[in-house]
Structure 1
Amino acid sequence: MSKYAKDGQAAAEASDQSLVLEDEKYPEGGLRGWLVVLGAWCAMIPSMGLLNSLGILHAWTSTHQLHGYSESSIGWIFGAYGFFLFVASAQAGPIFDAYGPFYVIVPGSIGIVTSLICFSFSEEYYQIFLSFSVLGGLSACTLFTPPVSCVGHWFNVRRAYATGIACTAGGVGGVVFPLIILFAAPKVGFPWAIRIIALLSAVLCICACILLKPRLPQNKAAGASISFEALKDIRYAATTVAVFFVEFAIFIPLTYISSYAVHVGTNDTLSYALIVFLNLGAVPGRFLPGLFADKLGRFNVMVLTSLICAVLTLGVWLTAGENITAIICYAVLFGFWSGAAISLGPVCISQVCETKDYGKRSGTTFTIVSIGTLTGIPIAGAIQQRDGGKFDWLIVFGGLLYVVATVAFIIARGICAGWSLRVKF
Structure 2
Amino acid sequence: MIPSMGLLNTLAVLQAWVSVNELHGIPESSIGWIFSLYAFFLYLCGAQVGPIFDAHDVRFLIIPGCIGIVAATMLLSLAKEYYQFLLTFGVLGGVSASMLFNPSIATIGHWFSERRALATGMACTAGGVGGVVFPLIILYASPAIGFPWAIRIIGFICAAASVAACTLLRKRLPPNKKGGSSIDLGALRDTRYAIVTAAVFLVEFAVFIPYTYISSYAIATGLEPHKAYLLNTLLNAGAIPGRALPGYVADRFGVFNVMCVTCFTCVAFILCLWLTTPRDNEAMVTSFAVLYGFWSGAAISLTPVCIGQVCRVEDYGKRNGTAFSIASIGALVGIPLAGAILQAQGGGYSGVIALAGGAYAAATAAFIVARGVSAGWSLKTVF
Q: Is the 8 A contact 1:81 1:133 kept in 2?
A: yes
Q: Is the 8 A contact 1:303 1:409 kept in 2?
A: yes
Structure 2: distance between partners of 1:399 and 1:424: 27
Q: Corresponding residue for 1:349?
A: 307
Q: Corresponding residue for 1:177?
A: 134
Which among 244, 257, 262 is matched to residue 219 of structure 2? Answer: 262
Whether 2:15 is the aligned partner of 1:58: answer yes
% identical aligned pairs: 58
Which among 282, 288, 291 is matched to residue 330 of structure 1? Answer: 288
- 1:47-100 Cα shifts (integer Å, max 9, x gaps): 000000000000000001111111111111111110011110011111111102
Structure 1: distance between partners of 2:233 and 2:111: 32
- 1:125-145 Cα shifts (integer Å, max 9, x gaps): 000000000000000001101
Which among 306, 327, 347 is matched to residue 389 of structure 1? Answer: 347
Alignment of 1:279-298 (within 5 A): 279-298=236-255
Whether 2:1 is the aligned partner of 1:49: answer no
Name the count of aligned residue pairs. Answer: 382
Find the residue that maps to 1:100 and give its secondary structure.
Answer: coil
Q: Is the 8 A contact 1:222 1:357 kept in 2?
A: yes
**Pairwise CA distance, 1:223:** 2.0
Whether 2:51 is the aligned partner of 1:94: answer yes
Which among 217, 224, 232 is matched to residue 174 of structure 2? Answer: 217
Letter in 2 for 1:397: L
**Pairwise CA distance, 1:253:** 0.3
Structure 2: distance between partners of 1:224 and 1:415: 29
Whether 2:94 is the aligned partner of 1:137: answer yes
Q: Corresponding residue for 1:372?
A: 330
- 1:249-284 Cα shifts (integer Å, max 9, x gaps): 001100000000000111111000000000000000
- 1:314-369 Cα shifts (integer Å, max 9, x gaps): 00001112211000000000000000011000000001000011100000001001
Larger CA deviation: 223-232 vs 151-160 = 223-232
Structure 1: distance between partners of 2:204 and 2:186: 23
Q: Is the 8 A contact 1:161 1:290 kept in 2?
A: yes
Structure 2: distance between partners of 1:117 and 1:170: 19
- 1:380-423 Cα shifts (integer Å, max 9, x gaps): 00111111111011101111111001000001111111111111
Which among 118, 134, 139 is matched to residue 161 of structure 1? Answer: 118
**Pairwise CA distance, 1:218:** 1.1
Q: Corresponding residue for 1:203?
A: 160
Q: Corresponding residue for 1:83?
A: 40
Find the residue that maps to 1:209 and give its secondary structure.
Answer: helix
Find the residue that maps to 1:229 and give its secondary structure.
Answer: helix
Q: Corresponding residue for 1:105?
A: 62
Q: Is the 8 A contact 1:95 1:222 kept in 2?
A: no
**Pairwise CA distance, 1:222:** 2.3
Structure 1: distance between partners of 2:49 and 2:166: 15
Structure 2 runs not aligned, ≥5 long? none
- The alignment yields a C-alpha RMSD, in angstroms, of 0.6
Whether 2:161 is the aligned partner of 1:232: answer no
Q: TM-score, normalised by structure 1?
A: 0.89
Find the residue that maps to 1:156 and give its secondary structure.
Answer: coil
- 1:279-321 Cα shifts (integer Å, max 9, x gaps): 0000000010000001000000000000000000000001112
Find the residue that maps to 1:265 and give its secondary structure.
Answer: coil
Whether 2:202 is the aligned partner of 1:245: answer yes
Q: Corresponding residue for 1:67?
A: 24
Q: Corresponding residue for 1:28?
A: none
Q: Which 4+ runs in 1 deviate beyond 3 A?
A: none
Structure 1 runs not aligned, ≥5 long? 1-43
Which among 360, 380, 395 is matched to residue 318 of structure 2? Answer: 360
